[in-house]
Amino acid sequence: MAHLPEDARHRLRDVALKAGAVVCGVADAAAFEKHAPAGHRPADFLPGARAVIVVGGAAPRAGDWQASPWVLQTMGTTERIQGVGRRLAQYVEAEFGYYALYLPPGTESGSNPFVSLMLAAELAGLGSRSLAGPVLNREHGFLYWSAVATTAPLPVDGPEDEGACPAPACRQMWERERTTPCLSVCPIDGGGCLGGELVNGRPVRHSYDRDRCATRVHTHWIGGFQQVLEATLNEPDREKRKMMLYGDYFTRTLWALTYSSTNMAQCFECLRVCPAAHGLRPLE
Protein backbone atom coordinates (compact mmCIF):
# COMPACT_ATOMS: atom_id res chain seq x y z
CA MET A 1 0.00 0.00 0.00
CA ALA A 2 1.51 3.30 -1.05
CA HIS A 3 1.71 6.01 1.55
CA LEU A 4 1.20 9.55 0.42
CA PRO A 5 3.58 11.85 2.29
CA GLU A 6 1.97 14.70 4.19
CA ASP A 7 4.04 17.19 2.25
CA ALA A 8 3.13 15.68 -1.14
CA ARG A 9 1.38 18.84 -2.25
CA HIS A 10 4.38 21.01 -1.39
CA ARG A 11 6.79 18.65 -3.08
CA LEU A 12 4.71 18.59 -6.24
CA ARG A 13 4.55 22.35 -6.28
CA ASP A 14 8.31 22.61 -5.81
CA VAL A 15 8.98 20.20 -8.66
CA ALA A 16 6.51 22.00 -10.91
CA LEU A 17 7.91 25.45 -10.22
CA LYS A 18 11.49 24.29 -10.64
CA ALA A 19 10.51 22.71 -13.96
CA GLY A 20 9.11 26.00 -15.24
CA ALA A 21 5.50 26.30 -14.07
CA VAL A 22 4.41 29.50 -12.34
CA VAL A 23 1.33 28.02 -10.66
CA CYS A 24 0.33 24.55 -9.52
CA GLY A 25 -3.01 23.41 -8.14
CA VAL A 26 -5.01 20.24 -7.60
CA ALA A 27 -8.58 19.63 -8.72
CA ASP A 28 -10.94 16.99 -7.40
CA ALA A 29 -11.38 14.44 -10.22
CA ALA A 30 -15.01 13.97 -9.21
CA ALA A 31 -15.68 17.67 -9.71
CA PHE A 32 -15.48 17.22 -13.49
CA GLU A 33 -18.70 15.23 -13.49
CA LYS A 34 -20.84 18.33 -13.10
CA HIS A 35 -19.21 20.13 -15.97
CA ALA A 36 -17.74 17.69 -18.49
CA PRO A 37 -19.71 15.15 -20.55
CA ALA A 38 -19.08 11.44 -20.11
CA GLY A 39 -15.97 10.40 -21.99
CA HIS A 40 -14.23 13.65 -21.15
CA ARG A 41 -13.66 13.19 -17.41
CA PRO A 42 -10.38 12.18 -15.77
CA ALA A 43 -11.72 8.79 -14.63
CA ASP A 44 -12.59 7.97 -18.24
CA PHE A 45 -8.88 7.95 -18.96
CA LEU A 46 -7.44 6.79 -15.65
CA PRO A 47 -9.73 4.40 -13.76
CA GLY A 48 -9.84 5.34 -10.10
CA ALA A 49 -8.58 8.87 -10.70
CA ARG A 50 -8.94 10.94 -7.53
CA ALA A 51 -7.17 14.15 -8.36
CA VAL A 52 -5.96 16.22 -11.28
CA ILE A 53 -2.74 18.16 -10.86
CA VAL A 54 -2.74 21.29 -12.98
CA VAL A 55 0.22 23.50 -13.82
CA GLY A 56 0.21 26.81 -15.62
CA GLY A 57 2.96 28.83 -17.21
CA ALA A 58 4.90 29.45 -20.41
CA ALA A 59 2.83 32.49 -21.31
CA PRO A 60 4.19 35.16 -23.61
CA ARG A 61 6.64 37.31 -21.67
CA ALA A 62 5.98 40.92 -20.85
CA GLY A 63 8.42 41.79 -23.61
CA ASP A 64 6.47 39.73 -26.12
CA TRP A 65 3.34 41.73 -25.37
CA GLN A 66 5.30 44.90 -25.98
CA ALA A 67 6.44 43.69 -29.38
CA SER A 68 4.53 44.04 -32.62
CA PRO A 69 1.77 41.51 -33.36
CA TRP A 70 3.98 40.08 -36.09
CA VAL A 71 6.67 39.21 -33.53
CA LEU A 72 4.20 37.85 -30.99
CA GLN A 73 2.92 35.46 -33.63
CA THR A 74 6.26 33.69 -33.77
CA MET A 75 6.69 33.10 -30.03
CA GLY A 76 5.73 29.46 -29.66
CA THR A 77 5.59 28.74 -25.96
CA THR A 78 2.85 26.26 -25.13
CA GLU A 79 5.05 23.19 -25.48
CA ARG A 80 7.17 24.23 -22.49
CA ILE A 81 4.35 23.73 -20.02
CA GLN A 82 3.50 20.33 -21.46
CA GLY A 83 7.00 19.14 -20.53
CA VAL A 84 6.26 20.11 -16.91
CA GLY A 85 3.11 17.98 -16.96
CA ARG A 86 4.99 14.98 -18.30
CA ARG A 87 7.62 15.37 -15.61
CA LEU A 88 5.02 15.59 -12.83
CA ALA A 89 3.35 12.39 -14.03
CA GLN A 90 6.62 10.53 -13.76
CA TYR A 91 7.38 12.15 -10.41
CA VAL A 92 4.06 11.06 -8.88
CA GLU A 93 4.59 7.44 -9.93
CA ALA A 94 8.25 7.30 -8.93
CA GLU A 95 7.98 9.15 -5.62
CA PHE A 96 4.48 8.42 -4.37
CA GLY A 97 3.69 5.06 -5.97
CA TYR A 98 0.31 6.08 -7.43
CA TYR A 99 -0.79 5.96 -11.04
CA ALA A 100 -0.41 9.17 -12.98
CA LEU A 101 -1.58 9.95 -16.48
CA TYR A 102 -0.41 13.01 -18.35
CA LEU A 103 -3.63 14.23 -19.95
CA PRO A 104 -3.04 14.72 -23.65
CA PRO A 105 -3.25 18.35 -24.73
CA GLY A 106 -4.23 17.60 -28.32
CA THR A 107 -7.69 17.17 -29.74
CA GLU A 108 -9.70 14.00 -29.67
CA SER A 109 -11.57 14.85 -32.84
CA GLY A 110 -12.21 18.11 -34.60
CA SER A 111 -11.65 20.86 -32.04
CA ASN A 112 -12.71 18.77 -29.03
CA PRO A 113 -10.11 18.06 -26.34
CA PHE A 114 -9.88 14.75 -24.50
CA VAL A 115 -10.23 16.57 -21.17
CA SER A 116 -10.63 20.33 -21.03
CA LEU A 117 -7.44 21.81 -19.59
CA MET A 118 -9.26 25.09 -19.05
CA LEU A 119 -11.87 23.36 -16.92
CA ALA A 120 -9.08 21.59 -15.03
CA ALA A 121 -7.41 24.92 -14.30
CA GLU A 122 -10.69 26.37 -13.05
CA LEU A 123 -11.45 23.40 -10.81
CA ALA A 124 -7.92 23.54 -9.41
CA GLY A 125 -8.52 27.13 -8.35
CA LEU A 126 -5.88 28.50 -10.66
CA GLY A 127 -8.07 30.87 -12.58
CA SER A 128 -11.45 31.50 -14.09
CA ARG A 129 -12.83 32.08 -17.54
CA SER A 130 -12.69 35.54 -18.94
CA LEU A 131 -14.98 37.32 -21.32
CA ALA A 132 -12.24 36.83 -23.88
CA GLY A 133 -12.37 33.08 -23.30
CA PRO A 134 -9.06 31.96 -21.80
CA VAL A 135 -8.77 31.12 -18.10
CA LEU A 136 -6.95 33.96 -16.37
CA ASN A 137 -4.94 33.58 -13.21
CA ARG A 138 -5.41 36.41 -10.73
CA GLU A 139 -1.70 36.98 -10.25
CA HIS A 140 -0.17 36.02 -13.58
CA GLY A 141 -3.00 36.56 -16.06
CA PHE A 142 -2.98 34.50 -19.25
CA LEU A 143 -1.19 31.13 -18.93
CA TYR A 144 -0.95 27.86 -20.81
CA TRP A 145 -2.04 24.72 -18.97
CA SER A 146 -1.03 21.11 -18.54
CA ALA A 147 -2.70 18.48 -16.36
CA VAL A 148 -2.03 15.07 -14.84
CA ALA A 149 -4.74 12.72 -13.57
CA THR A 150 -3.69 10.56 -10.65
CA THR A 151 -5.06 7.98 -8.25
CA ALA A 152 -3.15 9.68 -5.41
CA PRO A 153 -5.55 11.06 -2.76
CA LEU A 154 -4.07 14.54 -2.83
CA PRO A 155 -5.74 17.38 -0.94
CA VAL A 156 -7.65 19.39 -3.52
CA ASP A 157 -8.25 23.06 -4.18
CA GLY A 158 -11.66 24.43 -4.99
CA PRO A 159 -12.56 26.88 -7.73
CA GLU A 160 -11.77 30.46 -6.86
CA ASP A 161 -14.56 32.72 -5.64
CA GLU A 162 -13.62 35.81 -7.55
CA GLY A 163 -11.91 35.79 -10.91
CA ALA A 164 -9.37 38.04 -12.54
CA CYS A 165 -11.99 39.07 -15.10
CA PRO A 166 -13.33 41.70 -15.17
CA ALA A 167 -10.46 43.91 -14.11
CA PRO A 168 -11.47 47.12 -12.30
CA ALA A 169 -10.69 49.15 -15.42
CA CYS A 170 -13.03 46.94 -17.45
CA ARG A 171 -15.83 47.45 -14.91
CA GLN A 172 -15.42 51.19 -15.25
CA MET A 173 -15.41 50.94 -19.03
CA TRP A 174 -18.57 48.83 -18.92
CA GLU A 175 -20.32 51.42 -16.77
CA ARG A 176 -19.30 54.11 -19.21
CA GLU A 177 -19.59 52.45 -22.60
CA ARG A 178 -21.40 49.12 -22.10
CA THR A 179 -18.42 47.27 -23.49
CA THR A 180 -15.00 46.06 -22.36
CA PRO A 181 -11.62 46.14 -24.09
CA CYS A 182 -11.86 42.52 -25.32
CA LEU A 183 -15.47 42.87 -26.49
CA SER A 184 -14.74 46.10 -28.29
CA VAL A 185 -11.62 44.81 -30.05
CA CYS A 186 -13.36 41.68 -31.37
CA PRO A 187 -17.16 42.21 -31.30
CA ILE A 188 -19.18 39.33 -32.61
CA ASP A 189 -21.69 41.71 -34.16
CA GLY A 190 -18.92 43.50 -36.00
CA GLY A 191 -17.20 40.57 -37.65
CA GLY A 192 -15.42 39.49 -34.48
CA CYS A 193 -15.64 36.49 -32.19
CA LEU A 194 -16.80 37.68 -28.74
CA GLY A 195 -20.16 38.57 -27.25
CA GLY A 196 -21.01 39.10 -23.60
CA GLU A 197 -21.73 41.50 -20.79
CA LEU A 198 -21.01 42.19 -17.16
CA VAL A 199 -23.85 41.18 -14.84
CA ASN A 200 -23.47 42.28 -11.23
CA GLY A 201 -19.82 42.81 -11.95
CA ARG A 202 -19.29 39.28 -13.25
CA PRO A 203 -18.43 38.32 -16.83
CA VAL A 204 -21.20 36.53 -18.71
CA ARG A 205 -20.38 35.28 -22.16
CA HIS A 206 -23.28 35.08 -24.55
CA SER A 207 -21.50 33.94 -27.64
CA TYR A 208 -18.14 32.92 -28.96
CA ASP A 209 -17.55 32.06 -32.61
CA ARG A 210 -14.96 29.32 -32.19
CA ASP A 211 -14.66 28.54 -35.86
CA ARG A 212 -14.09 32.14 -36.80
CA CYS A 213 -11.62 32.53 -33.95
CA ALA A 214 -9.74 29.38 -35.02
CA THR A 215 -9.25 30.70 -38.54
CA ARG A 216 -7.69 33.84 -37.09
CA VAL A 217 -5.72 32.31 -34.25
CA HIS A 218 -4.26 29.44 -36.25
CA THR A 219 -3.78 30.95 -39.67
CA HIS A 220 -0.47 29.17 -40.12
CA TRP A 221 -1.19 25.91 -38.39
CA ILE A 222 -2.60 22.59 -39.59
CA GLY A 223 -5.70 24.28 -40.97
CA GLY A 224 -3.50 26.59 -43.04
CA PHE A 225 -1.65 23.64 -44.51
CA GLN A 226 -4.90 21.90 -45.42
CA GLN A 227 -6.28 25.05 -46.97
CA VAL A 228 -3.24 25.65 -49.19
CA LEU A 229 -3.03 22.01 -50.16
CA GLU A 230 -6.63 22.00 -51.30
CA ALA A 231 -6.27 25.31 -53.15
CA THR A 232 -3.11 24.08 -54.86
CA LEU A 233 -4.70 20.85 -56.01
CA ASN A 234 -7.68 22.78 -57.33
CA GLU A 235 -5.43 25.18 -59.23
CA PRO A 236 -5.05 24.16 -62.89
CA ASP A 237 -2.27 26.65 -63.68
CA ARG A 238 1.18 25.11 -62.98
CA GLU A 239 2.85 28.47 -62.43
CA LYS A 240 0.27 29.51 -59.86
CA ARG A 241 0.59 26.15 -58.14
CA LYS A 242 4.32 26.70 -57.84
CA MET A 243 3.78 30.17 -56.37
CA MET A 244 1.33 28.80 -53.83
CA LEU A 245 3.72 26.10 -52.65
CA TYR A 246 6.80 28.33 -52.51
CA GLY A 247 5.06 31.44 -51.27
CA ASP A 248 5.44 32.95 -47.82
CA TYR A 249 2.09 31.75 -46.58
CA PHE A 250 2.77 28.08 -47.18
CA THR A 251 6.39 28.40 -46.07
CA ARG A 252 5.32 29.91 -42.74
CA THR A 253 2.71 27.19 -42.39
CA LEU A 254 5.41 24.56 -42.77
CA TRP A 255 7.51 26.31 -40.13
CA ALA A 256 4.46 26.29 -37.86
CA LEU A 257 3.90 22.59 -38.36
CA THR A 258 7.43 21.47 -37.69
CA TYR A 259 9.39 21.29 -34.49
CA SER A 260 10.49 24.89 -34.57
CA SER A 261 7.02 25.68 -33.23
CA THR A 262 6.96 29.22 -34.49
CA ASN A 263 3.73 30.76 -35.68
CA MET A 264 1.64 28.61 -33.39
CA ALA A 265 -0.94 31.29 -32.79
CA GLN A 266 -1.45 34.48 -34.66
CA CYS A 267 -4.16 36.52 -32.97
CA PHE A 268 -3.76 37.71 -29.42
CA GLU A 269 -5.82 40.86 -29.74
CA CYS A 270 -8.44 40.11 -27.08
CA LEU A 271 -5.68 39.38 -24.60
CA ARG A 272 -3.40 42.17 -25.75
CA VAL A 273 -6.02 44.70 -24.59
CA CYS A 274 -7.00 42.77 -21.45
CA PRO A 275 -5.77 44.49 -18.27
CA ALA A 276 -5.96 41.18 -16.39
CA ALA A 277 -4.04 39.08 -18.88
CA HIS A 278 -0.54 40.30 -18.23
CA GLY A 279 -0.08 39.68 -14.54
CA LEU A 280 0.45 42.09 -11.70
CA ARG A 281 4.11 42.87 -12.07
CA PRO A 282 4.89 45.96 -14.16
CA LEU A 283 8.32 46.11 -15.77
CA GLU A 284 10.53 49.01 -16.72
Binding site for other proteins (CB under 8 A): 1-2, 44-47, 79, 83, 86-87, 89-90, 93, 97-110, 114, 149-152, 222, 225-226, 229-230, 233-234, 257-261
Least spacing, CB of residue 172 vs other proteins, in Å:
41
For other proteins, the closer CB: 202 or 210? 210
Which residues have CB under 8 Å from 185's CB, separation 6+? 192, 269, 270, 272, 273
Least spacing, CB of residue 185 vs other proteins, in Å:
29
Least spacing, CB of residue 58 vs other proteins, in Å:
14
Least spacing, CB of residue 153 vs other proteins, in Å:
9
For other proteins, the closer CB: 49 or 123? 49
E-strand ranges in the chain read 21-28, 51-57, 100-102, 107-109, 112-113, 128-129, 135-137, 141-142, 144-150, 194-199, 202-208
For other proteins, the closer CB: 233 or 243? 233
Helix, strand, coil percent values for the chain (each to nearest 5): 40, 20, 40
Exposed, middle or buried, 117 (CB in 10 Å: 0-12/13-18/19+)? buried
Least spacing, CB of residue 94 vs other proteins, in Å:
9
Which residues have CB under 8 Å from 264's CB, separation 6+? 76, 77, 78, 218, 221, 256
Least spacing, CB of residue 84 vs other proteins, in Å:
10
Contact 225, 204 (CB under 8 A): no
For other proteins, the closer CB: 218 or 272? 218
For other proteins, the closer CB: 18 or 178? 18
For other proteins, the closer CB: 79 or 160? 79
